[in-house]
């Protein structure tokens, strides 16, 4: 797991892992969700990967675009 930089200082995300077609997000409330190209769409996953590595905006993006699009 890579630690999320949280450059805005107000994120509920503590870390993430990135794969070829997925991202696993670790939240500060100890929940973990895996989002995939299949579950959330290619474009959303690629944006989430970029935001995760930049350390800014991932939590907000998830809340607006992919909140319930995690893999079950």
Q: Is residue 71 part of a domain?
A: no
Calculate the dihedral angle through the C-alpha atoms of 57, 63, 66, 67, rounding to the nearest 10 degrees: 140
**Single pTM value for the model:** 0.95
Give the other-Cβ count within 10 Å of 45's Cβ. Answer: 23
Q: Is residue 10 part of a domain?
A: yes
Q: Is residue 15 part of a domain?
A: yes
Q: Is residue 62 part of a domain?
A: yes
Q: Is residue 72 part of a domain?
A: no
Q: Is residue 50 part of a domain?
A: yes
Does position 72 have pLDDT exceeding 90, yes or no?
no
The tens digit of pLDDT for each residue in 4-25 reads 999 999 999 999 999 999 999 9
Q: How many domains does the chain have?
A: 1
54 token code pair: 């930049």
């Amino acid at each position: 797991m890579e630690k999320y930089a949280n450059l805005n200082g107000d994120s509920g995300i503590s870390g993430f892992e990135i794969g070829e077609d997925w991202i696993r997000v670790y939240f500060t409330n100890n929940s973990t969700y895996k989002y995939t190209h299949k579950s959330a769409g290619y474009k959303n996953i690629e944006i989430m990967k970029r935001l995760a590595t930049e350390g800014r905006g991932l939590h907000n993006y998830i809340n607006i675009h992919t909140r319930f699009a995690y893999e079950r």
